[in-house]
């Protein structure tokens, strides 16, 4: 199974800003008092369009879908948190921590992908877990080592251990579960998404091992 793809889905923002509903445990977000919301979004669109062009110039097939003004979805540029695509045609839908992020899930996006020739064989839907305040935010929470059949997950308010294990059983992956932290105002707090502190490519990996405070867990991940 391939680790990477030559096709990616990108959602072009229309109302990008700091999301007050996710800022409660994403400590990297800041309010920019000197910028109007429209200015923030315009800058985001400018960066988005430039990045799409760079990707296309190196041969990446980029499928761009425009976000909608309503409902209000300031984090829509991160679709990997609510959906993942798999080589066998499976699609997974994930439960989201923030209520306004749940609104990002759009059936028409699947229709657009099918119109472009992508075959969707099966949809695995975990979103009902939201009713029990259980969350697992896609490939933000899950770092998939597709070639070696592993899934890494740093537990957090947005990554539930039992649901992660269920996902691994459904997709025949071996779970690697640990906790990762960052220092916020002198206090160690969970990092909200695994892909903030590590990534896996075909020939290299990047990890901030210092985020894993437990030495046994750190060794397990690095091994």
| β-bridge mates for residue 66, sequence order | 12
Q: Which residues of the chain fall short of a pLDDT of 70?
A: none
pLDDT value of position 33: 78
pLDDT digits (tens, 9 = 90+) for 17-52: 999 999 999 999 988 778 888 999 999 999 999 999
CATH number for the segment(s) 7-222: 3.75.10.10
Number of C-beta neighbours around residue 170 at 10 A: 12
pLDDT value of position 35: 86
pLDDT digits (tens, 9 = 90+) for 81-99: 999 999 999 999 999 999 9
Domain ranges of the chain: 7-222
pLDDT value of position 120: 97
């Amino acid at each position: 199974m391939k680790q990477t793809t030559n096709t990616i889905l990108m959602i072009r923002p229309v109302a990008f800003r700091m999301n007050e509903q996710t800022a409660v445990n994403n400590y990297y977000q800041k309010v920019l008092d000197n910028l109007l919301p429209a200015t923030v979004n315009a800058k985001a669109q400018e960066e988005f369009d430039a990045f799409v062009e760079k990707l296309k110039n190196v041969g990446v097939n980029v499928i761009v879908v425009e976000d909608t003004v309503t409902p209000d979805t300031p984090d829509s540029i991160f679709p990997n948190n609510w959906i993942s695509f798999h080589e066998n045609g499976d699609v997974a839908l994930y439960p989201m921590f923030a209520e306004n992020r749940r609104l990002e899930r759009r059936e028409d996006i699947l229709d657009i992908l099918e119109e472009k020739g992508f075959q969707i064989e099966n949809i695995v839907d975990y979103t009902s877990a939201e009713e029990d305040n259980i969350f697992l935010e896609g490939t933000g929470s899950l770092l998939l080592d597709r070639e070696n059949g592993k899934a890494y997950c740093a537990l957090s308010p947005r990554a539930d251990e039992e649901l992660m294990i269920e996902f691994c059983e459904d997709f025949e992956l071996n779970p690697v579960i640990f906790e990762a932290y960052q220092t916020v105002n002198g206090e160690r707090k969970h990092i909200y998404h695994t892909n903030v502190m590590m990534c896996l490519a075909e020939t290299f990996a990047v990890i901030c091992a210092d985020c894993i405070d437990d030495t046994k867990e750190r060794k397990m991940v690095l091994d």
